[in-house]
Every structure is written in structure tokens, then in C-alpha cells.
A = this chain, B = another copy of it.
Amino acid sequence: MPHADTILPPEETERLQALGYRLTEPRRAIIAALRGAGRFCTAAQLHERIVDRDVGLASVYRTLELLAEIGLAERRAEVGGEASFLYCSPRHHHHVICTGCGTVREIDAAFCPGEETTRAVEAATDFQIARHTLDFHGLCADCRTEG
């Protein structure tokens, strides 16, 4: 019986189980915490948020690694040698990241560089482009009014 705070949308459960992974209580808790954070989190930060569930730190690391592998999380290098992870929906999307508070909002593919841009890059570089990443950085409304 999953904990009330760990009821996940079918996106995560389906993707995990379709790949043969088991949907365990620790994984539910970790995914829910990462999802709810709405920003880049370190393993230690996430572990902090779920101490009451008796989830080991090693499991947090293992699950974050797994999520990054299957595309449900994005890994980022942090100053100080600590890695951060951000929840990502399985759909194609991009990020708007607040340089003040770190909050991340997903934006949909409407803002993607189009097919023509991709073709132009291919022509200019002789690469065969398969995918791309795009992030915007700036201040969110809250951080703007505070400053």
C-alpha cells in the first residue's frame, strides 16, 4: 500500500515497469520528493526530505542514477563536487531556470528550434543531429519583486 504522499502519475510507474524495474516504496518516495521539489536537488537534500520513510542514502543515489538513465531526471554538476538532479517529465521539453531561487519550470516543445534550424546545423557541421537541449536562465516573478 503506497504512502499517501507517494501516489505517482502513471508516467513514472509505466516507464519504470515497462523497463523491468520494480516499483518499490523507497523509489516512490524518492521520485515524489524529487518531483515535488521543482528544482535541482542533491542526493543528501532528497534524503533529508524522506528520513521518516527510513530510506537509505545509498538507495537515493541508486534511484537517482536509475532515473537519469531512463530519462526521468537530469543530472547536473555542482560547484563543490556534489551532483544535483532535476525531475523531468518523459515528454520532450525544455527548462526555464530561475537564477535567484533555483526554481525550474518546464516549457513545452513549442519553443524548440524547428526542423529547419536542425537541418541548417547539420549542413554547417556535417553532423547528423538526433536531439537537442535548450535551457533559459533568468529571474522568476517572485525573485524580481524581492530584489
User: Taking beta carbons and an 8 Å cutoff, which residues of A are in contact with B?
Assistant: 65, 68, 75-79, 81, 83-84, 96, 98-99, 105, 107, 111, 113, 117-118, 120-122, 124-141, 144
Contact = CB atoms under 8 A, between A and B. Distances in A.
A68 B98 CA distance: 20
Stoichiometry, copies per complex: 2
A136 B127 contact: yes
A96 B77 contact: no
Contacts of A99: 130
A139 B96 CA distance: 27
Given A99-B130, A105-B127, 7 more contacts: A76-B77, A105-B125, A111-B124, A126-B140, A128-B138, A132-B134, A133-B133
